[in-house]
Amino acid sequence: MTPLDLPQPYLVFLGDVTEVAYAKTAAGLRDWAPDQCVGEYGLPKGDFTLGLPVLSPAEAYEKGARAVVIGVAPMGGGLNNGWVAPLVEALEAGLDIISGMHAPLAGVPALKETAERLGRRLIDVRRPPAGLPIANGKKRAGKRLLTVGTDCALGKKYTALAIAEAFRKRGVATDFRATGQTGVIIAGGGIPMDSVVADFLAGAAEVLSPDAAPDHWDIVEGQGSLFHPAYAGVSLGLLHGSQPDVLVVCHQIGRDHVLGMGETYPLPSVEETIEINLYHARRVNREARCAGISLNTASLDDEAAAKAIAEYSERTGLPCADPIRGGAAFARLVDSCLNP
Protein backbone atom coordinates (compact mmCIF):
# COMPACT_ATOMS: atom_id res chain seq x y z
CA MET A 1 0.00 0.00 0.00
CA THR A 2 1.14 3.55 -0.75
CA PRO A 3 2.51 5.29 2.37
CA LEU A 4 0.96 8.59 3.39
CA ASP A 5 2.91 11.82 2.98
CA LEU A 6 2.46 13.46 6.37
CA PRO A 7 4.31 16.67 7.36
CA GLN A 8 6.16 16.13 10.63
CA PRO A 9 6.65 16.79 13.51
CA TYR A 10 3.26 17.53 15.06
CA LEU A 11 1.45 19.89 17.39
CA VAL A 12 -1.33 17.78 18.93
CA PHE A 13 -4.69 19.54 19.13
CA LEU A 14 -6.81 18.53 22.13
CA GLY A 15 -9.85 20.73 21.54
CA ASP A 16 -12.05 20.90 24.62
CA VAL A 17 -12.24 17.21 25.54
CA THR A 18 -12.12 16.09 29.16
CA GLU A 19 -11.71 12.30 28.80
CA VAL A 20 -8.92 10.21 27.33
CA ALA A 21 -11.53 7.91 25.70
CA TYR A 22 -12.27 10.77 23.29
CA ALA A 23 -8.61 11.70 22.81
CA LYS A 24 -7.32 8.34 21.57
CA THR A 25 -5.42 9.86 18.65
CA ALA A 26 -3.65 12.33 20.92
CA ALA A 27 -2.68 9.68 23.48
CA GLY A 28 -1.65 7.22 20.78
CA LEU A 29 0.72 9.71 19.17
CA ARG A 30 2.24 10.62 22.53
CA ASP A 31 2.83 6.99 23.43
CA TRP A 32 3.86 5.51 20.06
CA ALA A 33 5.33 8.47 18.13
CA PRO A 34 6.76 10.68 20.89
CA ASP A 35 9.65 11.91 18.73
CA GLN A 36 7.11 13.47 16.37
CA CYS A 37 5.14 15.36 19.06
CA VAL A 38 6.44 18.88 19.71
CA GLY A 39 3.66 19.88 22.09
CA GLU A 40 -0.06 20.07 22.79
CA TYR A 41 -2.64 22.74 22.01
CA GLY A 42 -5.95 22.76 23.88
CA LEU A 43 -8.86 25.07 24.55
CA PRO A 44 -9.72 26.62 27.94
CA LYS A 45 -12.85 24.47 28.41
CA GLY A 46 -10.86 21.24 28.17
CA ASP A 47 -8.94 19.94 31.15
CA PHE A 48 -7.35 16.87 29.55
CA THR A 49 -3.59 16.98 29.05
CA LEU A 50 -1.00 14.71 27.46
CA GLY A 51 1.73 16.09 29.68
CA LEU A 52 3.47 17.59 26.64
CA PRO A 53 4.64 21.21 26.47
CA VAL A 54 1.67 23.54 26.04
CA LEU A 55 2.34 25.62 22.93
CA SER A 56 0.53 28.04 20.69
CA PRO A 57 0.66 27.24 16.96
CA ALA A 58 3.24 29.98 16.41
CA GLU A 59 5.42 28.64 19.24
CA ALA A 60 5.10 25.11 17.88
CA TYR A 61 6.14 26.23 14.41
CA GLU A 62 9.22 27.91 15.87
CA LYS A 63 10.09 24.62 17.58
CA GLY A 64 9.87 22.73 14.30
CA ALA A 65 6.27 21.56 14.07
CA ARG A 66 4.91 21.41 10.52
CA ALA A 67 1.37 20.16 11.14
CA VAL A 68 -1.31 20.26 13.78
CA VAL A 69 -2.99 16.89 14.28
CA ILE A 70 -6.58 16.85 15.50
CA GLY A 71 -6.03 14.45 18.37
CA VAL A 72 -9.62 14.10 19.52
CA ALA A 73 -12.53 12.08 18.16
CA PRO A 74 -16.00 12.70 19.59
CA MET A 75 -18.72 10.21 18.73
CA GLY A 76 -19.85 10.71 15.15
CA GLY A 77 -16.51 12.10 13.99
CA GLY A 78 -17.73 15.65 13.41
CA LEU A 79 -15.69 18.84 13.66
CA ASN A 80 -16.77 21.02 16.59
CA ASN A 81 -17.60 24.59 15.55
CA GLY A 82 -15.57 25.88 18.48
CA TRP A 83 -12.44 24.35 16.99
CA VAL A 84 -12.52 26.27 13.72
CA ALA A 85 -10.91 29.51 14.91
CA PRO A 86 -7.99 27.75 16.70
CA LEU A 87 -7.38 25.63 13.59
CA VAL A 88 -7.41 28.72 11.38
CA GLU A 89 -4.81 30.16 13.76
CA ALA A 90 -2.68 27.05 13.19
CA LEU A 91 -2.89 27.49 9.41
CA GLU A 92 -1.90 31.15 9.76
CA ALA A 93 1.07 30.12 11.90
CA GLY A 94 2.43 27.98 9.06
CA LEU A 95 1.05 24.56 10.00
CA ASP A 96 -0.83 22.10 7.83
CA ILE A 97 -3.76 20.25 9.42
CA ILE A 98 -4.02 16.47 9.71
CA SER A 99 -7.41 15.07 10.67
CA GLY A 100 -8.77 11.63 11.41
CA MET A 101 -12.36 12.86 11.62
CA HIS A 102 -15.14 11.54 9.41
CA ALA A 103 -16.04 15.09 8.31
CA PRO A 104 -13.62 16.40 5.61
CA LEU A 105 -11.60 19.45 6.57
CA ALA A 106 -12.30 21.13 3.23
CA GLY A 107 -15.99 21.01 4.10
CA VAL A 108 -15.39 23.81 6.60
CA PRO A 109 -15.40 27.04 4.56
CA ALA A 110 -13.06 28.96 6.87
CA LEU A 111 -10.45 26.19 6.80
CA LYS A 112 -10.74 25.72 3.05
CA GLU A 113 -10.42 29.44 2.30
CA THR A 114 -7.48 29.93 4.67
CA ALA A 115 -5.62 26.87 3.41
CA GLU A 116 -6.05 27.90 -0.22
CA ARG A 117 -5.00 31.48 0.50
CA LEU A 118 -1.86 30.47 2.40
CA GLY A 119 -0.95 27.35 0.43
CA ARG A 120 -1.44 25.02 3.40
CA ARG A 121 -2.53 21.39 3.21
CA LEU A 122 -5.71 19.93 4.69
CA ILE A 123 -5.02 16.20 5.08
CA ASP A 124 -7.85 13.76 5.85
CA VAL A 125 -6.42 10.34 6.78
CA ARG A 126 -9.84 8.76 7.33
CA ARG A 127 -10.28 8.15 3.61
CA PRO A 128 -10.12 4.57 2.31
CA PRO A 129 -8.33 3.88 -0.97
CA ALA A 130 -10.39 3.68 -4.14
CA GLY A 131 -11.23 0.39 -5.83
CA LEU A 132 -11.49 -1.86 -2.78
CA PRO A 133 -12.81 -5.31 -3.75
CA ILE A 134 -15.52 -7.46 -2.25
CA ALA A 135 -13.90 -10.22 -0.18
CA ASN A 136 -13.16 -13.52 -1.94
CA GLY A 137 -12.55 -15.55 1.22
CA LYS A 138 -9.49 -17.29 -0.23
CA LYS A 139 -6.83 -18.42 2.23
CA ARG A 140 -3.67 -16.31 2.05
CA ALA A 141 -0.10 -17.26 2.87
CA GLY A 142 1.55 -15.85 5.99
CA LYS A 143 0.25 -15.52 9.55
CA ARG A 144 -2.17 -13.01 11.02
CA LEU A 145 -3.02 -11.85 14.53
CA LEU A 146 -6.08 -9.70 15.24
CA THR A 147 -6.84 -7.86 18.46
CA VAL A 148 -10.51 -7.96 19.49
CA GLY A 149 -12.28 -6.66 22.58
CA THR A 150 -15.18 -6.55 24.96
CA ASP A 151 -15.75 -2.93 23.88
CA CYS A 152 -14.28 -0.07 21.86
CA ALA A 153 -11.51 2.27 23.07
CA LEU A 154 -9.89 -0.04 25.62
CA GLY A 155 -6.53 -1.08 24.20
CA LYS A 156 -6.76 -2.98 20.91
CA LYS A 157 -4.42 -0.58 19.10
CA TYR A 158 -1.92 -0.43 21.98
CA THR A 159 -1.97 -4.22 22.25
CA ALA A 160 -1.35 -4.67 18.54
CA LEU A 161 1.51 -2.15 18.55
CA ALA A 162 3.09 -3.73 21.64
CA ILE A 163 2.86 -7.26 20.21
CA ALA A 164 4.28 -6.12 16.86
CA GLU A 165 7.20 -4.49 18.68
CA ALA A 166 7.78 -7.63 20.77
CA PHE A 167 7.73 -9.84 17.68
CA ARG A 168 10.32 -7.64 15.95
CA LYS A 169 12.59 -7.75 19.01
CA ARG A 170 12.50 -11.54 18.72
CA GLY A 171 13.56 -11.35 15.09
CA VAL A 172 10.12 -12.22 13.69
CA ALA A 173 9.19 -10.62 10.36
CA THR A 174 6.23 -8.43 11.31
CA ASP A 175 4.04 -5.62 9.99
CA PHE A 176 1.58 -3.61 12.05
CA ARG A 177 -1.59 -3.16 9.98
CA ALA A 178 -3.45 0.00 10.95
CA THR A 179 -7.24 0.05 10.68
CA GLY A 180 -8.13 3.30 12.47
CA GLN A 181 -7.14 6.93 12.07
CA THR A 182 -4.63 6.96 14.93
CA GLY A 183 -2.92 3.78 13.80
CA VAL A 184 -2.77 5.13 10.25
CA ILE A 185 -1.01 8.31 11.43
CA ILE A 186 1.42 6.33 13.61
CA ALA A 187 2.21 3.76 10.91
CA GLY A 188 2.12 6.18 7.99
CA GLY A 189 -0.41 4.02 6.15
CA GLY A 190 -3.30 1.59 6.48
CA ILE A 191 -7.04 1.52 5.85
CA PRO A 192 -9.53 3.35 8.11
CA MET A 193 -12.04 0.52 8.28
CA ASP A 194 -14.91 2.53 9.73
CA SER A 195 -14.95 4.64 6.56
CA VAL A 196 -15.25 1.71 4.16
CA VAL A 197 -18.64 0.94 2.60
CA ALA A 198 -20.04 -2.08 4.45
CA ASP A 199 -20.00 -4.49 1.48
CA PHE A 200 -16.25 -3.92 1.08
CA LEU A 201 -15.13 -4.19 4.72
CA ALA A 202 -13.90 -7.77 4.52
CA GLY A 203 -12.33 -7.09 1.13
CA ALA A 204 -10.46 -4.12 2.60
CA ALA A 205 -9.12 -6.36 5.37
CA GLU A 206 -7.92 -8.83 2.74
CA VAL A 207 -6.11 -6.02 0.90
CA LEU A 208 -4.60 -4.78 4.15
CA SER A 209 -3.10 -8.18 5.02
CA PRO A 210 -2.06 -9.71 1.68
CA ASP A 211 -0.18 -12.90 0.87
CA ALA A 212 3.16 -13.03 2.67
CA ALA A 213 6.02 -15.39 3.45
CA PRO A 214 4.97 -18.39 5.58
CA ASP A 215 6.81 -17.07 8.65
CA HIS A 216 5.67 -13.44 8.27
CA TRP A 217 3.14 -11.99 10.73
CA ASP A 218 0.62 -9.23 10.10
CA ILE A 219 -0.55 -7.76 13.41
CA VAL A 220 -3.96 -6.30 12.62
CA GLU A 221 -5.34 -3.51 14.79
CA GLY A 222 -8.86 -4.36 15.94
CA GLN A 223 -11.83 -2.01 15.80
CA GLY A 224 -15.02 -1.74 17.83
CA SER A 225 -16.53 -4.88 19.34
CA LEU A 226 -18.93 -7.56 18.17
CA PHE A 227 -21.04 -6.56 21.19
CA HIS A 228 -21.21 -2.82 20.48
CA PRO A 229 -24.62 -1.72 19.16
CA ALA A 230 -23.00 0.88 16.88
CA TYR A 231 -19.67 -0.60 15.85
CA ALA A 232 -20.11 -4.36 15.53
CA GLY A 233 -20.21 -4.24 11.73
CA VAL A 234 -16.62 -3.12 11.31
CA SER A 235 -15.50 -5.72 13.89
CA LEU A 236 -17.10 -8.56 11.94
CA GLY A 237 -15.70 -7.32 8.64
CA LEU A 238 -12.20 -7.35 10.13
CA LEU A 239 -12.67 -10.84 11.54
CA HIS A 240 -13.77 -12.27 8.20
CA GLY A 241 -11.34 -10.36 6.01
CA SER A 242 -8.19 -10.72 8.08
CA GLN A 243 -8.73 -14.50 8.52
CA PRO A 244 -6.77 -14.42 11.79
CA ASP A 245 -4.72 -17.36 12.93
CA VAL A 246 -4.54 -15.83 16.40
CA LEU A 247 -6.86 -13.62 18.44
CA VAL A 248 -5.88 -11.61 21.49
CA VAL A 249 -8.89 -10.46 23.52
CA CYS A 250 -8.67 -7.01 25.10
CA HIS A 251 -10.54 -5.80 28.17
CA GLN A 252 -10.35 -2.83 30.54
CA ILE A 253 -10.57 -3.38 34.26
CA GLY A 254 -13.40 -1.37 35.79
CA ARG A 255 -15.46 -0.95 32.63
CA ASP A 256 -18.89 -2.51 33.08
CA HIS A 257 -20.97 -1.00 30.27
CA VAL A 258 -20.52 -0.27 26.57
CA LEU A 259 -18.81 3.10 26.08
CA GLY A 260 -21.08 5.92 24.98
CA MET A 261 -24.32 4.05 25.65
CA GLY A 262 -24.94 5.01 29.27
CA GLU A 263 -25.81 1.95 31.31
CA THR A 264 -28.06 0.42 28.67
CA TYR A 265 -25.68 -2.31 27.53
CA PRO A 266 -23.55 -4.26 30.05
CA LEU A 267 -20.23 -5.55 28.77
CA PRO A 268 -19.94 -9.25 27.96
CA SER A 269 -17.57 -11.43 29.94
CA VAL A 270 -14.12 -12.16 28.57
CA GLU A 271 -15.15 -15.80 28.19
CA GLU A 272 -18.17 -14.87 26.08
CA THR A 273 -16.00 -12.53 24.02
CA ILE A 274 -13.56 -15.34 23.27
CA GLU A 275 -16.36 -17.72 22.33
CA ILE A 276 -18.22 -15.39 19.97
CA ASN A 277 -15.09 -14.04 18.26
CA LEU A 278 -13.72 -17.53 17.68
CA TYR A 279 -17.07 -18.65 16.30
CA HIS A 280 -16.91 -15.96 13.60
CA ALA A 281 -13.16 -16.24 13.02
CA ARG A 282 -13.45 -19.96 12.39
CA ARG A 283 -15.93 -19.29 9.62
CA VAL A 284 -12.95 -18.24 7.47
CA ASN A 285 -10.07 -19.96 9.31
CA ARG A 286 -10.92 -23.23 11.06
CA GLU A 287 -7.58 -23.18 12.88
CA ALA A 288 -8.13 -19.78 14.52
CA ARG A 289 -7.31 -19.76 18.25
CA CYS A 290 -7.23 -17.32 21.14
CA ALA A 291 -3.69 -16.86 22.43
CA GLY A 292 -4.56 -14.89 25.55
CA ILE A 293 -5.94 -11.79 27.23
CA SER A 294 -4.67 -8.21 27.09
CA LEU A 295 -5.86 -6.49 30.25
CA ASN A 296 -5.89 -2.70 30.52
CA THR A 297 -5.00 -2.10 34.17
CA ALA A 298 -4.27 1.62 33.93
CA SER A 299 -6.62 2.36 36.84
CA LEU A 300 -4.81 -0.02 39.24
CA ASP A 301 -1.59 0.14 41.21
CA ASP A 302 1.10 -2.48 40.60
CA GLU A 303 -0.09 -4.91 43.26
CA ALA A 304 -3.75 -4.76 42.22
CA ALA A 305 -2.81 -5.07 38.55
CA ALA A 306 -0.72 -8.19 39.17
CA LYS A 307 -3.60 -9.72 41.13
CA ALA A 308 -6.13 -8.97 38.37
CA ILE A 309 -3.82 -10.38 35.68
CA ALA A 310 -3.34 -13.59 37.67
CA GLU A 311 -7.09 -13.93 38.30
CA TYR A 312 -8.00 -13.57 34.61
CA SER A 313 -5.30 -16.03 33.61
CA GLU A 314 -6.51 -18.61 36.11
CA ARG A 315 -10.13 -18.04 35.16
CA THR A 316 -9.61 -18.50 31.42
CA GLY A 317 -6.66 -20.88 31.41
CA LEU A 318 -4.85 -18.46 29.05
CA PRO A 319 -1.88 -16.13 29.42
CA CYS A 320 -2.95 -12.67 30.54
CA ALA A 321 -0.92 -9.46 30.63
CA ASP A 322 -1.03 -5.70 30.45
CA PRO A 323 1.24 -4.98 27.45
CA ILE A 324 2.04 -1.50 28.73
CA ARG A 325 3.32 -2.92 32.02
CA GLY A 326 5.21 -5.64 30.13
CA GLY A 327 7.24 -8.04 32.25
CA ALA A 328 7.11 -11.82 32.47
CA ALA A 329 3.34 -11.95 32.02
CA PHE A 330 3.57 -10.15 28.68
CA ALA A 331 6.45 -12.39 27.58
CA ARG A 332 4.20 -15.41 28.23
CA LEU A 333 1.44 -13.84 26.16
CA VAL A 334 3.85 -13.24 23.28
CA ASP A 335 5.09 -16.84 23.56
CA SER A 336 1.49 -18.05 23.29
CA CYS A 337 0.88 -15.92 20.19
CA LEU A 338 3.90 -17.40 18.41
CA ASN A 339 3.63 -20.97 19.63
CA PRO A 340 0.33 -22.92 19.52
* Domains in the chain: ranges and CATH: 10-124 (3.40.50.720), 143-338 (3.40.50.300)
pLDDT of residue 76: 58
What is the maximum span of the chain, computed from C-alpha positions, in angstroms? 61
Q: How far apart are the first and last CA of the chain?
A: 30
Residue 73: helix, strand or coil by DSSP?
coil
For residues 16-35, give the mean pLDDT: 88
- Between CA 12 and CA 122 the distance in angstroms is 15
pLDDT of residue 84: 95
For residue 144, list its beta bridge partners. Answer: 218
- Identify the band that residue 243 occupies on the pLDDT scale cut at 50, 70 and 90: very high
- Between CA 251 and CA 135 the distance in angstroms is 29
The pTM is what?
A: 0.93
Q: How many residues does the chain have?
A: 340
Query: pLDDT higher for 20 or 208?
Result: 208
pLDDT of residue 330: 98
Query: pLDDT higher for 47 or 158?
Result: 158
pLDDT of residue 47: 77
